[in-house]
C-alpha cells in the first residue's frame, strides 16, 4: 500500500471546483425563496430616536428588533453585540432593520429614515474608555533585566486594518422547516452559527441545523461574521415563513464585516553590548472596533507571540483590546500574531543597528532553542527550530552577500524570524473537547468532522491521515459534508488546528477502528457486521498545564517556526516599493501534502506582502471610505514577488504523523521582512502599509 502522507495526492475537492460542479451558496435556490437585505446605521455613534420605512412596503417582509423571539444578541465571547440595534448605534454599519422581497432588484427601492441623537465617536483606541480585554504576561523581574543592560532600545510600531478579501463574499440561506431552522452558508465554523441561531431564535439545539455550502475562502473572515448574517436571514425567514437568501456584494462585505485589528506596539528592550537581550517591556494595544467579537483571543495570541522567538529571562507584556466606533474587527489569519511580531522583528533590526551587529547574528544569539522557556514559561521541545529556519533562509537567499553588495543602490534586503503556536491558546482545546469520527461504509471509510474545507485542503489532508492510519487507499476515504445534524463538533476551523489537533483525533479514531477490524478488511467487516462509527475525543498532551489567571504555562501544544527574507526595489522617483523576491522557510513538523503546504506558505506570504505594502483601509467618520476593489488594492500577479519556499520537518510527537500547523504562520513574517528591507535601502518605516506616501515621509537613514 503506497502511503499517502507526504505525497501531493489529487485533491478531494479539485475536480468539482475546476469543472464548476461545486455548489456555492449563490448557486443554491429553494422554492419560494426571498432575497434579504440589511438596513444599516449611517452614523458611527449615537442614540436612535425613530426608525420609519419611507417606501411602499407592499410585497416586502420587514423585521425589526421586536421580531426577535430569543435574545437580541449575537452569541460570542461577551454576548455584547445585538442582532439588530436597540437604542444605541456604535458603528456606521450597525444593522437596524431587515427587509426581504421575492425580487432581488426590488430591494433597491428600500429607503428607511432614521432619526438620531449623535454622540461623539472614539476612533483612537488608546483614548477609549472601554476595554474589552486586558492581560499581563510576566516572567522574571524587569528591573533586574534592565540593570544588566548596556543600553535600552525603544520604539513604537503600527499596523493597519486588513480586509480578508476571500474570493466569495459572505452569504447564507435560511430555510424554515417544521418549526425549526436550517441555514446553509459560506462558513468556517458551522457550530458557532448553530449556537448563535439557538440563542437568537430561542429554539432548542435539535431544531437548528447548519450546513456548509462550498466555501470560497475565509481567512478568519467567516469565522464569526456568519453568525450575525445567519441570524438576520433566519429572522426574515421565520417572519416570512419562506426561505431567505442573503448574499453581500463586495462593497457591503468590505463596508460591514470584520477586519484585522490595527495595532500599536511599544517596545523597550535591554541589551548587552554583545547583543544579548536582558529585558523586554512590551505594550500592545489592539483596536477592537465597536463590539467584542473575538478580540480577547486575538489579544491573547498577539500578546503570547509579542516577545517573538527569543529567549529572555525578564519579560513584561501588557496587552489591551479597546472599543472604538468602527465596525468590529475580528479574526484574520494569524489572530494578532502578525501584528505583534511585526513590531518585534522591526525592533530587532533597530537593536542590531544600534549595536552595530549583524541582524542575523543578533537573532541567532537570542533565538529560542530546545529546552528554553517562552514568555509564559513553556519549556520548548526538540522541535524548536528557530536557529534552523534562520540559517536555512540566510543560506538560500544569499542574504549577507546581497546585503553587502546592495548598499546604496535603492535595493534592499531584510529578514524576519517568527514562530506560531498551533491550536487554541492555553486551555482552549481542553474546553473545546473536540470530537472526530470515522465511519465504516460499504465502499471504504468516511470522515466525520466539523472542520470545513475553505480552499486550504481540509478534506484531502484528513483523508490522507485516515488512509494511512488504517493502511487503506486514499481513494476509498470520503469526507462527509459539514452538517451539524450529521458531524460531531470538532471545534472551529481556525487557529492552525485543523491538521494538528483535528487530524490527530482522526488518526486516533482510525487507529481504534483498525483495532476493531482485527484481521478483516474494512469491506469484509462491513459485510459481516454492518456499519461502525468510531469517535475520538481531545486529550491534552501529557503534562500540559495552563494557568489562565497568571497567564503562565503551555500556551500551545507546539509551535511552527519561520524565517522570511524580502528583497525589494525602491523607485527613487515615486517611492513605490516593488517586492522582487521572498524566501520563505517554514518548519511545520511534517508536510502531510507538500504541494498544499507550499500553497499555504506562498498564499500567506503574498497576503503578508500585500498587508505590508498595498492594503490600506481608509476610515472616514468610522467607515471604510475605499470599500471597493478599485481603491482597496490587493496584489495582482504583477505585484506578487517570486517566492522561494523551503519546508523543514521536525516531527512533533503529538501531531498526526508529526504535523504541526501551517495555515497562519506564513503571514507573520513578510511585513517585518519588507520593512527591514526598506531600512536596509535607507528608509526608517515604522508603520504599515508602507505606501509610497509613507516611504516618502519616512526619515532617511
Ligand atoms: Mo482564524 S484567524 O480563522 O484562526
Q: Which residues, judged by CB distance below 6 Å to any ligand atom, belong to the binding site of ligand 1?
A: 188, 220, 223, 331-333, 335, 494-495
CA of 336 to the centre of ligand 1 (A): 10
Q: Which residues are CB-neighbours of 475 under 8 A, at least 6 positions away? A: none
Atom of ligand 1 nearest to the CA of 493: 3
Q: Sheet of 244-247: strands edge to edge?
A: 61-63, 95-101, 34-40, 244-247, 171-177, 180-185, 208-212
Cα–Cα distance between 539 and 523 in angstroms, integer? 30
Q: What is the pLDDT of residues 7-55, one digit of tens each?
A: 999 999 999 999 999 999 999 999 999 999 999 999 999 999 999 999 9
Tell me which of 256, 281, 306 is where a domain ends. Answer: 256
Q: Where are the alpha helices (H) located in 54-163, listed in sequence order?
A: 142-147
Q: Which of 220, 454, 455, 499, when mutated, tests ligand 1's pocket best, judged by the most ligand atoms within 8 Å of its CB?
A: 220
Residues 558 and 603 placed together within one structural domain of the fold: yes
Q: Which of 664, 665, 667, 668, when mutated, tests ligand 1's pocket best, judged by the most ligand atoms within 8 Å of its CB?
A: 664
CA of 533 to the centre of ligand 1 (A): 30
What is the CATH classification number for the domain harbouring 460?
3.30.365.10
β-strands 623-624, 477-479: how paired?
Answer: unpaired
Q: Is residue 53 part of a domain?
A: yes
Domain count, the chain: 3
Query: Would you place residue 408 in the very low, low, confident or very high pLDDT band (cuts 50, 70, 90)?
Result: confident
Nearest residue to 386 via CA among 498, 311, 329: 311
Nearest residue to 655 via CA among 481, 488, 487, 461: 461
Residues 60 and 105 placed together within one structural domain of the fold: yes
Task: Decide if 577 contacts 674 (C-beta within 8 A).
Answer: yes
Residues 185 and 41 placed together within one structural domain of the fold: yes
Atom of ligand 1 nearest to the CA of 221: 3
Atom of ligand 1 nearest to the CA of 495: 4
Atom of ligand 1 nearest to the CA of 222: 3
Nearest residue to 566 via CA among 395, 412, 360, 428: 412
Q: 383's torsion region: left (phi>0), alpha (psi -120 to 50) or beta? A: alpha
Tell me which of 537, 564, 584 is where a domain ends. Answer: 537
Q: Where are the alpha helices (H) located in 585-691, listed in sequence order?
A: 594-613, 670-681
Q: Is residue 235 part of a domain?
A: yes
* Cell of residue 669, nine digits: 513574517
Q: Is residue 143 part of a domain?
A: no
Atom of ligand 1 nearest to the CA of 497: 4
Task: Decide if 314 contacts 142 (C-beta within 8 A).
Answer: yes
pLDDT of residue 504: 98
Report CA dihedral (214, 217, 221, 226) to the nearest 10 degrees: -10
pLDDT of residue 128: 98
| Across 380-409, average pLDDT | 96
* Cell of residue 259, nine digits: 477586519
CA of 334 to the centre of ligand 1 (A): 6
Residues 248 and 288 placed together within one structural domain of the fold: no
Cα–Cα distance between 473 and 450 in angstroms, integer? 23
Q: What is the pLDDT of residues 214-225, one digit of tens each?
A: 999 999 999 999
Residues of the chain with pLDDT > 70: what percent? Answer: 100
CA of 333 to the centre of ligand 1 (A): 5
Q: Is residue 673 part of a domain?
A: yes
Residues 350 and 408 placed together within one structural domain of the fold: yes
pLDDT, the chain, mean: 97
Atom of ligand 1 nearest to the CA of 335: 2
Atom of ligand 1 nearest to the CA of 663: 4
Indicate if the pLDDT at residue 699 is higher than 80: no
CA of 599 to the centre of ligand 1 (A): 17
Residues 516 and 613 placed together within one structural domain of the fold: no
Q: What sign does the dihedral 636-638-639-645 (CA atoms) show?
A: positive
Residues 440 and 387 placed together within one structural domain of the fold: no
Indicate if the pLDDT at residue 1 is higher than 80: no
Cα–Cα distance between 425 and 428 in angstroms, integer? 5
- Tracing cell 419562506 back to the chain, one arrives at 242
* Cell of residue 465, nine digits: 491521515
CA of 640 to the centre of ligand 1 (A): 23
* Cell of residue 371, nine digits: 529546552
Atom of ligand 1 nearest to the CA of 188: 3
3-state secondary structure 487-536: CCCCCCCCCCCHHHHHHHHHHHHHHHHHHHHCCCCHHHHHHHHCCEEEEE
Task: Decide if 643 contacts 605 (C-beta within 8 A).
Answer: yes
CA of 426 to the centre of ligand 1 (A): 16
Q: What is the pLDDT of residues 439-487, one digit of tens each?
A: 999 989 999 999 999 999 999 999 999 999 999 999 999 999 999 999 9
- The C-alpha angle with vertex 328 and arms to 326 and 331, in degrees rounded to 5, equals 140
Q: What is the pLDDT of residues 580-592, one digit of tens each?
A: 999 999 999 999 9
In angstroms, how far is CA 514 from the centroid of its own chain? 35
Indicate if the pLDDT at residue 553 is higher than 80: yes
Q: What is the Cα Rg of the chain in Å?
A: 25
CA of 298 to the centre of ligand 1 (A): 9
Tell me which of 505, 537, 569 is where a domain ends. Answer: 537
Q: Is residue 141 part of a domain?
A: no
Name the residue range of residue 486's domain: 14-23+434-537
Q: Whose CA is nearest to atom 3 of ligand 1?
A: 220
CA of 163 to the centre of ligand 1 (A): 13
CA of 188 to the centre of ligand 1 (A): 9
CA of 299 to the centre of ligand 1 (A): 13
Q: What is the pLDDT of residues 70-83, one digit of tens each?
A: 999 999 999 999 99
Q: Is residue 149 part of a domain?
A: no
Task: Decide if 293 contacts 328 (C-beta within 8 A).
Answer: yes
CA count, 13 A, side-chain hemisphere, 21: 5
CA of 318 to the centre of ligand 1 (A): 22
CA count, 13 A, side-chain hemisphere, 506: 39
Is the entire prediction scored with pTM above 0.75? yes
In angstroms, how far is CA 568 from the centroid of its own chain? 27
Q: Which of 163, 192, 335, 662, when mutated, tests ligand 1's pocket best, judged by the most ligand atoms within 8 Å of its CB?
A: 335
Atom of ligand 1 nearest to the CA of 294: 2
Q: What is the pLDDT of residues 449-461, one digit of tens each?
A: 999 999 999 999 9
Q: What sign does the dihedral 460-461-462-466 (CA atoms) show?
A: positive
Report CA dihedral (557, 558, 559, 560) to the nearest 10 degrees: -120
Nearest residue to 162 via CA among 3, 286, 52: 286
CA of 548 to the centre of ligand 1 (A): 21
Cα–Cα distance between 586 and 483 in angstroms, integer? 34
Containing 467, the helix (H) or strand (E) segment is helix 458-470
Query: Would you place residue 213 in the very low, low, confident or very high pLDDT band (cuts 50, 70, 90)?
Result: very high
Q: What is the pLDDT of residues 85-143, one digit of tens each?
A: 999 999 999 999 999 999 999 999 999 999 999 999 999 999 999 999 999 999 999 99
- Three-state DSSP state, 347: helix
Atom of ligand 1 nearest to the CA of 333: 2
CA of 699 to the centre of ligand 1 (A): 35
CA of 406 to the centre of ligand 1 (A): 38
Residues 182 and 220 placed together within one structural domain of the fold: yes
Q: What is the pLDDT of residues 194-206, one digit of tens each?
A: 999 999 999 999 9
Task: Decide if 363 contacts 344 (C-beta within 8 A).
Answer: no
Cα–Cα distance between 475 and 453 in angstroms, integer? 18
pLDDT of residue 2: 67
Summarize the chain as % helix, strand, coil (round to 5).
Answer: 30, 25, 40
Indicate if the pLDDT at residue 636 is higher than 70: yes
Residues 215 and 296 placed together within one structural domain of the fold: no
| Burial class (CB within 10 angstroms; exposed 0-12, middle 13-18, buried 19+) of 40 | buried
Residues 332 and 380 placed together within one structural domain of the fold: yes
Q: Which of 192, 215, 259, 495, when mutated, tests ligand 1's pocket best, judged by the most ligand atoms within 8 Å of its CB?
A: 495
Q: Is residue 147 part of a domain?
A: no
Q: What is the pLDDT of residues 242-261, one digit of tens each?
A: 999 999 999 999 999 999 99
Atom of ligand 1 nearest to the CA of 496: 4
Cα–Cα distance between 308 and 269 in angstroms, integer? 13
Task: Decide if 437 contacts 509 (C-beta within 8 A).
Answer: yes
CA of 41 to the centre of ligand 1 (A): 28
Atom of ligand 1 nearest to the CA of 334: 2
Instruction: Give one DSSP letter per residue of 421-436, joined into a string.
Output: EESSSTTHHHHHT-EE
Instruction: Give one DSSP letter per residue of 41-52, joined into a string.
Output: -SSSSEEEEEEE
- Tracing cell 500553497 back to the chain, one arrives at 599
Residues 62 and 90 placed together within one structural domain of the fold: yes
CA of 223 to the centre of ligand 1 (A): 7
Q: Is residue 135 part of a domain?
A: no
Atom of ligand 1 nearest to the CA of 298: 2
Q: Which of 301, 331, 339, 432, when mutated, tests ligand 1's pocket best, judged by the most ligand atoms within 8 Å of its CB?
A: 331
Residues 442 and 498 placed together within one structural domain of the fold: yes
Helices and strands in the chain: count of H runs, count of E runs: 17, 29
Nearest residue to 612 via CA among 541, 683, 522, 551: 683
Amino acid at each position: 500500500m503506497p502511503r499517502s502522507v507526504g505525497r501531493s495526492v489529487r485533491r478531494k475537492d479539485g475536480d468539482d471546483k475546476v469543472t464548476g460542479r461545486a455548489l456555492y451558496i449563490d448557486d443554491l435556490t429553494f422554492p419560494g425563496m426571498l432575497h434579504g437585505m440589511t438596513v444599516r446605521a449611517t452614523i458611527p455613534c449615537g442614540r436612535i430616536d425613530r426608525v420609519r420605512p419611507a417606501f411602499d412596503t407592499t410585497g416586502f417582509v420587514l423585521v425589526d428588533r421586536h421580531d426577535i423571539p430569543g435574545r437580541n444578541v449575537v452569541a460570542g465571547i461577551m454576548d455584547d453585540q445585538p442582532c439588530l440595534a436597540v437604542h444605541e448605534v456604535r458603528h456606521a454599519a450597525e444593522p437596524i432593520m431587515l427587509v426581504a422581497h421575492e425580487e432581488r432588484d426590488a430591494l433597491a427601492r428600500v429607503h428607511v429614515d432614521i432619526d438620531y441623537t449623535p454622540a461623539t465617536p472614539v476612533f483612537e483606541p488608546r483614548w477609549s474608555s472601554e476595554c474589552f480585554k486586558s492581560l499581563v504576561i510576566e516572567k522574571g523581574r524587569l528591573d533586574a533585566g534592565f540593570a544588566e543592560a548596556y543600553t535600552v532600545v525603544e520604539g513604537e510600531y503600527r499596523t493597519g486594518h486588513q480586509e480578508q478579501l476571500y474570493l466569495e463574499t459572505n452569504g447564507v440561506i435560511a430555510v424554515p422547516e417544521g418549526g425549526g431552522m436550517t441555514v446553509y452558508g459560506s462558513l468556517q465554523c458551522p457550530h458557532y452559527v448553530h449556537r448563535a441561531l439557538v440563542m437568537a431564535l430561542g429554539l432548542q439545539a435539535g431544531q437548528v441545523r447548519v450546513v456548509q455550502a462550498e466555501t470560497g475562502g475565509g481567512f478568519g473572515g467567516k469565522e464569526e461574521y456568519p453568525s450575525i448574517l445567519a441570524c438576520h436571514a433566519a429572522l426574515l425567514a421565520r417572519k416570512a415563513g419562506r426561505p431567505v437568501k442573503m448574499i453581500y456584494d463586495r462593497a457591503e462585505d468590505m463596508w460591514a464585516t470584520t477586519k484585522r485589528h490595527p495595532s500599536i506596539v511599544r517596545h523597550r528592550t535591554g541589551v548587552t553590548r554583545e547583543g544579548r537581550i536582558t529585558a523586554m517591556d512590551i505594550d500592545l494595544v489592539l483596536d477592537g472596533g465597536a463590539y467584542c467579537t473575538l478580540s480577547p483571543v486575538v489579544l491573547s495570541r498577539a500578546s503570547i507571540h509579542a516577545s517573538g522567538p527569543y529567549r529572555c529571562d525578564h519579560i513584561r507584556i501588557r496587552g489591551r483590546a479597546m472599543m472604538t466606533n468602527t465596525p468590529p474587527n475580528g479574526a484574520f489569519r494569524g489572530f494578532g500574531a502578525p501584528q505583534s511580531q511585526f513590531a518585534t522583528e522591526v525592533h530587532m533590526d533597530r537593536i542590531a543597528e544600534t549595536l552595530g551587529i549583524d541582524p542575523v547574528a543578533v537573532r541567532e544569539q537570542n533565538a529560542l532553542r530546545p529546552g528554553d522557556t517562552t514568555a509564559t514559561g513553556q519549556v520548548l521541545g526538540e522541535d524548536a527550530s528557530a536557529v534552523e529556519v534562520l540559517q536555512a533562509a540566510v543560506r538560500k537567499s544569499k542574504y549577507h552577500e546581497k546585503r553587502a553588495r546592495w548598499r546604496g543602490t535603492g535595493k534592499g534586503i531584510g529578514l524576519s524570524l517568527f514562530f506560531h503556536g498551533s491550536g487554541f491558546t492555553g486551555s482552549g482545546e481542553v474546553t473545546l473537547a473536540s470530537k472526530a469520527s470515522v465511519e465504516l461504509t460499504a465502499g471504504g471509510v468516511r470522515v466525520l468532522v466539523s472542520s470545513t474545507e475553505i480552499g486550504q485542503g481540509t478534506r484531502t489532508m484528513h483523508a490522507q491521515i485516515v488512509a494511512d492510519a488504517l493502511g487503506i487507499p486514499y481513494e476509498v476515504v470520503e469526507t462527509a459534508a459539514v452538517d451539524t445534524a450529521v458531524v460531531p463538533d470538532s471545534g472551529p476551523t481556525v487557529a492552525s488546528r485543523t491538521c494538528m489537533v483535528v487530524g490527530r483525533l482522526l488518526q486516533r479514531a482510525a487507529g481504534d477502528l483498525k483495532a476493531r477490524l482485527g484481521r478483516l478488511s474494512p469491506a469484509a467487516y462491513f459485510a459481516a457486521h454492518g456499519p461502525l462509527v468510531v469517535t475520538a475525543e481531545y486529550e491534552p498532551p501529557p503534562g500540559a498545564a495552563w494557568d489562565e489567571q497568571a497567564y503562565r504555562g503551555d500556551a500551545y501544544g507546539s509551535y511552527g517556526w519561520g524565517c522570511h527574507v524580502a528583497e525589494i526595489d525602491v523607485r527613487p522617483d515615486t517611492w513605490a516599493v516593488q517586492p522582487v523576491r521572498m524566501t520563505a522557510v517554514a518548519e511545520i513538523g511534517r508536510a502531510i501534502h507538500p504541494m498544499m503546504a507550499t500553497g499555504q506558505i506562498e498564499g500567506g506570504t503574498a497576503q503578508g506582502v500585500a498587508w505590508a505594502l498595498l492594503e490600506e483601509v481608509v476610515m472616514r467618520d468610522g467607515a471604510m471610505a475605499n470599500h471597493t476593489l478599485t481603491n482597496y488594492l490587493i496584489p495582482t500577479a504583477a505585484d506578487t514577488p517570486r517566492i522561494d519556499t523551503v519546508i523543514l520537518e521536525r516531527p512533533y510527537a503529538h501531531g498526526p504523523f508529526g504535523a504541526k500547523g501551517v495555515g497562519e504562520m506564513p503571514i507573520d513574517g513578510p511585513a517585518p521582512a519588507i520593512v527591514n528591507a526598506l531600512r536596509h535601502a535607507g528608509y526608517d518605516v515604522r508603520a504599515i502599509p508602507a505606501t509610497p506616501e509613507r516611504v516618502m515621509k519616512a526619515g532617511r537613514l
